Amino acid sequence: MLFYTPNRMTRPIRLSEKTRQFAYDSLNHKYGIETREHNAVSLDEIDIEIYQKMSPLMRYDTAIFQIVSKAPLRICDGERISGAATLGLAIDHRVPATYGGVKIFSSVSHLTVDFETVVKKGINHIRKEAEISLEKHRGTEKEDFLKSCLHCLNCFDIWHKRYLDALADRPEYRANYENLKRVPMEPAASFYEAVQSIWFTFAFLRLCGNWPGIGRIDCLLGEYLKNDLQKGIVTLDEAREILAHFFIKGCEWVAGGDYVSGDAQHYQNILLGGIDENGCDVTNEVTYLVLDILEELGISDFPTSVRLNQNTDEKLLRRVAEVMRYGGGMLAVYNEDKVIEALQKDGYELSEARRFANDGCWEVQVPGKTFFMYLPFDSLHILQKNTLNGYEAGVDYPTFESLYQRYIADLKRAVEALVQVRVEKCNTRNEKGEWVWESLTPCTVISLFERGCIEKGCSYFEGGPIYNIISPHIGGLADTVNSLYAIKKLVFEEQRLTLPEFMRVLKNDWEGEEPLRQYVLTHYSYYGNDNEEVDRLAARLLDDFADICAELNGKCGYRFPAGVSTFGRQLEWIPQRASSPHGRKKGEILAGNSSPTPGTDREGATAIIRSYCNADLSRLTTGAALDLKLLPSAVEGEDGLSALMALMRGFVILGGFFMQLDVADVSVLRDAQEHPEDYQTLSVRVSGWNARFVTLSREWQNMIIEQTER
């Protein structure tokens, strides 16, 4: 049983052989393939005329009922906690129900739900709240939704009972049965119950097609473990086993095969460490157990991030570095000082800001209270197509400043248009011309776990949650900045050619202009090299972008905080992009997230971090991610640990936001392309998630290699 490491470091063994085997099977697709075999339940029993008369919410309720009644149950060999999301369509982000062979509903992701209420108060508490709210809203248009809430809670019960019955039949699962008897319906009383409570609820949400994040698992479980350890109910080793099963079962959708962006992207993010709403450090034994498990099993399917701050304990930092250097992109870090500052600037109360988690990728949000959606766009395309008019003849600006101002105006128009389209999809104007929420796709199951929905009687999509966020995300940042910078230097400062002449060169994709292209590539120091001049330009652009977003607030029920991301979109954007002023030809893979353009960073990791931190990242409320790839040789031995710790420390001191440090070796990745069979468990950090490298499409694999090479 080999759990892959890029540097051939041997992973420590702490878990039992049985648990390790379970992990190995799960990572090698055993359960994923099984899940794929039962794709969905069918509503075909319903007569077509009746079906056509049913409202979307009625259809949804019926689908959920069929799912909980008919989904196969799965009890894995030796599992310590039970419950499984066994319908294949859910892996495709769908409610796994069909009518006449057609998929009925899409599902919800990009959020972390309220597991705190589940563990500490139980599902029955949520039921009580729903009953109270239903009484309150009787006779209003909210009634249907609240009835649907109670219906879905009943469905949850049905599914729970089916598992209890199945477990009761199997004496070897007595412990599982006893442990599942009370939770998640009642508050958890022990660590073991708490883990089962979160897992079972998570599995239910996933069974119904949703992809929620987990959030701050050490916060949720820490007190339970502490109490149980004190009372001697559980040992640390025992607790590690139990928790490991949570992680292993989370790989039940890993099915191998070909996926564009990998087969492990289900947004089930986890956050460790950091402070609580009162400012106290939450780091506890659970934090370290999670790190132990990730280190031993190399499970990357729960992209895990650690909240660091200026006072992060040396012990934790070191442990994070130790786990990080096995590669696989399992751990990323937030600088929570910056994140909390950003959320406060956007109007959140301090205690609320301190509770942040992420959305299932790395965009931050207050968990269990937030509707979240982001709107990605390519800023480079706007520069090329609008401001520089596709490099057509006639483009000219008297000064760099006039060009820049025009660009910002174009950017503003593009962002406004993007937001307008989105808002009109979920809102309509009433007689008075005000925006009102419109019913959209039913999503009752997820709404049960988002505070505000039940109280207000509105679903997740209808303004139910307390915070409703649509975050415009600027993509192509480094390339836009580098393009602007190259034009500034070449045309306006050095005056090597006029802007119309330069436009001709670009229109022809640098044809016959190799020396000029080489000059632009090698003589300028671009974003990522700690060059103040270009970094200032990046900071200015981000500030202007944040201003554009801030102006959108207050017009409807959403807020529009800014963020930076591409995730993997730099690939999708290739066809729409022309050649770039900073020496890039058409079709090249350009920068991801807040990272430098591949091949332009010559000063090393510390310079990249400085460039990234130079902008005021507190204005990018939902996040700006920096991806750094290090070679295995750079993280070897004690020196390598110090290096990783130093990078993290510097990142916090300089005011970074989110950083994904991955350890990868280009030659290994190349070999994996040729011999995928030898690298089934090799994972890499893509962006907010990890991917099993061999399940990525060739284009995505090449993009990762390109990022790693620089």
Residues in touch with another protein (CB under 8 A): 514-516, 518-519, 522-523, 530, 603-607, 609-610, 634, 639-640, 642-643, 645-647, 649-650, 653-654
Minimum Å distance from CB 532 to another protein?
10
Q: Least distance from C-beta 608 to another protein, angstroms?
A: 10
Could you give the CA distance from residue 699 to residue 588 in angstroms, rounded to a whole number? 12
Nearest approach, Cβ of residue 405 and another protein (Å): 31
Shortest Cβ 534–another protein spacing (Å): 15
Residue 321 Cβ vs another protein, minimum distance, rounded to whole Å: 12
Name the helix (H) or strand (E) containing 365.
Answer: strand 364-365
Alpha carbons 452 and 541: distance in angstroms, whole number:
36
Give the residue among 481, 494, 623 at the shortest CA–CA distance from 540: 481
Q: Give, in order, the Cα–Cα distances in Å from 325 to each of 251, 274, 636, 645, 651.
A: 22, 21, 8, 11, 17
Least CB distance to another protein at residue 325 (A): 13
User: Cβ closer to another protein: 206 or 610?
Assistant: 610
The smaller minimum CB distance to another protein, of residues 590 and 613, is found at: 613
User: Which is closer to another protein, CB of 220 or CB of 538?
Assistant: 538
Going by C-alpha positions, the residue among 402, 382, 544, 550 that lies closest to residue 476 is 382
At its nearest, how many Å lie between another protein and the CB of residue 653? Answer: 4
Rounded least distance, CB 499 to another protein, Å: 20
Two structure tokens written together for 683:
């994972």
> CA 27, CA 397: separation in Å to the nearest integer?
56
Query: Do the beta carbons of residue 117 and residue 54 sit within 8 Å?
Result: no
Q: Which is nearer to another protein, 142 or 517 (CB)?
A: 517
Judging by beta carbons within 10 Å of its beta carbon (0-12, 13-18, 19+), is residue 655 exposed, middle or buried? middle
Nearer to another protein, 256 or 640 (CB): 640
Closest to another protein by CB, 363 vs 530, is 530
CB of 320 to another protein, least distance (A): 15
- Per DSSP (E only), the strands in 105-230 are 109-112, 211-213, 215-216
Looking at the Cβ atoms of 277 and 636, the one nearer to another protein is 636
User: Is residue 281 within 8 Å of residue 58, measured between CB atoms?
Assistant: no
Least separation in angstroms between CB 280 and another protein? 25
Give the residue among 230, 20, 201 at the shortest CA–CA distance from 113.
Answer: 201
Smallest distance from another protein to CB 613, Å: 9
Residue number, 529 or 566, with CB nearest to another protein: 529
Measured between alpha carbons, how far is 260 from 250 in angstroms, rounded to an integer?
21
Query: Residue 544: helix, strand or coil by DSSP?
Result: helix
**CA pair distance 325, 295, nearest whole angstrom:** 9
Are 679 and 654 a contacting pair, CB within 8 Å?
Answer: no
Give the C-alpha separation, 507 to 394, whole Å. 12
The packing angle between helices 174-182 and 143-168, to 10°, is: 160
Nearest distance from residue 643's CB to another protein, in Å? 5
Our CB check for another protein shows the closer of 197 and 335 to be 335
Beta carbons within 8 Å of 320's beta carbon, 6+ residues apart: 291, 306, 308, 331, 333, 644, 648
Q: Which is nearer to another protein, 184 or 583 (CB)?
A: 583
As a whole number of angstroms, the distance between CA 244 and CA 297 comes to 9
Indicate if the alpha-carbon torsion angle 499, 504, 506, 510 is positive or negative: negative
Q: Pick between residue 366 and residue 644 the one whose CB is nearest to another protein.
A: 644
Return the bridge partners of 662, or none.
629
Residue 454: both structure tokens together? 């039940």
426/465 Cα distance (integer angstroms): 14
Give the span between the Cα atoms of 6 and 38, in whole angstroms.
Answer: 35
Beta-carbon count within 10 A of 398 CB: 9
For another protein, give the closer residue by CB, 295 or 530: 530
Q: In terms of CB distance, is 563 or 583 closer to another protein?
A: 583
For helices 191-207 and 217-231, the axis angle rounded to 10 degrees is: 150
Residue 328 has which token pair? 């696989």
In angstroms, give the least distance from the CB of 625 to another protein.
19
